Chains A and B, each alone.
Chain A
């Protein structure tokens, strides 16, 4: 049987893993294929089709089952905490004393919300104006030059944004901006986190917004322009109105991205388990909490479960936001066809 030789060869491949071995395996696989799909096998096409169908289905199921498995795993791990403390207490208490088994996530939730809100407030106008300019006003050559650069921003590893935040944004806030408003700050603040996040999510918002704008038929713009409307009037009353839900979808998707962003935020937020009173105070977003503490202090009872609960919270929030934005984008697509 060609299949059994294959598995044996594969096993030996794991041990030695030389190029020669790999070649042999590939050859035997080729042989197997030749036999299985040879003209002598009846209904070769149908066999092939069934084989492809079933294997591909299996892989698809495997990949989506990951999502379900993660959700179940997180929930299972948070059960001890949920048994000992009520859900409302977990969400609304800000008492975080792991040694006394007091796990109140309120300050972390508020920290996450602050950072996310600040990032959206900064990023949305920035990306909306950039998107409008690139899609409606800019010459095609400008657009072809600028758009890849913006998209490049989303490919930069988050840790670099974190370093940039520490080197540039934090001192800037500490020395230049904050002194006008508060007496003292280290600069490691929810504002710094928000600024860094804003830079990270704005390529995402821009590319969705531009896609939404491109989906609007040119003839619709022409309908407005031919009535003597200026470009700006057309943008305001036709383009923006037509793309309103697309912009919402972009923002929702950006929010879910901002929620989960970890490293860059962790580096600039200060990470104090407190409720920030001003934007210049430190905060401690949920992802930073998990990343900073998982693997350490695990001897404390319930700590593991608490962190898993934090992860579950994040998971649920991001899942919800992603779903909402997908639904909106799907509706737009359906409407436009």
Chain B
């Protein structure tokens, strides 16, 4: 039985200007698992993540060749419509970026832009997803205050809830804990572990311990290529490739 994975990357090449950023990437991302992309700074792992929901579009001089299939649809097909593709994925960036509106509206934003304006439904959704990221009790009395007044850790959880409120299948995290303190980091990591039953999660991280704690699969990216991909323990503890060995050596165990 062949199961179509949510995300399948085929012969993907990305050029930015004259730089060949991603070289011939082929990768099937396992469904309902946490997949971590690790690698040194500037290796292309963030670019790889951004190609998954076409956030590279706005950057200048970007050329993308190859296919990224999301639910069987090539998102780089010239005819592909980008907003419904992005709606399938919630994004968590390095720093939280709450939208310039209050807490309630931040969560309701995704529903509203897709045409849902029913107050009772929105109320329900806001509560559900704020509870989902364990933020409800902290903010339920100040839903109408600006989201920027929350602490950074709360903001990142808010952003996660905002992403989940569009009911995506996939969560993309671009070093989502790099700006957070250890306690907030732990909170986000625990959320990922809770969420992986329902969502396919792709995580870019430079913290190998984090990759080991939360992910089921790890891909090692180096100089724009996927050097090794496999189950977390295998890649991190018994890497087959010399490059991977050098990279993980000393950071783990």
Nearest residue in B to A236 (C-beta to C-beta)? B113
Mostly, the B contact residues are mixed
B58 touches A241 (CB 8 A): no
Find the B residue at minimum CB distance from A241: B100
Which residues of chain B come closer than 8 Å to A296, judged between CB atoms?
none
Complex contact A228–B97 (CB within 8 A): no
Given contacts A229-B113, A238-B100, A241-B100, contact A223 B159 (CB under 8 A): yes
**Looking at the complex, which one of A217, A219, A224, A226 makes contact with B53 (CB distance below 8 Å)?**
A226
Instruction: Choose one: A218, A223, A230; the contact of B99 (CB below 8 Å).
Output: A223
Counting residue pairs across A and B whose Cβ atoms lie within 8 Å, the total is: 69
Chain A residue at minimal CB-CB distance from B53 = A226
B86, B94, B159, most chain A CB atoms within 10 A: B86
Q: Which of B83, B99, B110, B162 contacts A220 (CB 8 A)?
A: B99
Known: A222-B91, A227-B166. A238 touches B53 (CB 8 A): no
Whether A242 sits at the interface, judged by CB under 8 Å, is yes
Contact with A along B22-46 (1 / 0, CB 8 A): 0000000000000000000000000
| CB pair B114 A237 closer than 8 Å | no
B162 in complex: contacting residue of A218, A227, A233, CB < 8 Å: A227
- Complex Cα distance, B110 from A222, in Å, reads 13
A229 to B166, CA, bound (A): 11
Given known pairs A228-B84, A237-B99, the reply for A223 and B113 (CB within 8 Å) is no
A225 at the A/B interface (Cβ < 8 Å)? yes
Q: What interface size band does chain B fall in?
A: 20 to 34
A221 at the interface (CB under 8 A from B): yes
How far in angstroms is the closest Cβ of chain A from B75? 13
Q: Which residues does A use to contact B, with CB under 8 Å? A: 139-140, 217-230, 233, 237-238, 241-242
**Could you jot down 26 A-B contacts, CB within 8 Å?**
A140-B60, A140-B61, A219-B97, A220-B99, A222-B93, A223-B93, A223-B97, A223-B159, A224-B109, A225-B58, A226-B55, A226-B86, A226-B89, A226-B163, A227-B86, A227-B162, A227-B163, A228-B83, A228-B86, A228-B113, A229-B109, A230-B83, A237-B113, A238-B99, A241-B100, A242-B100
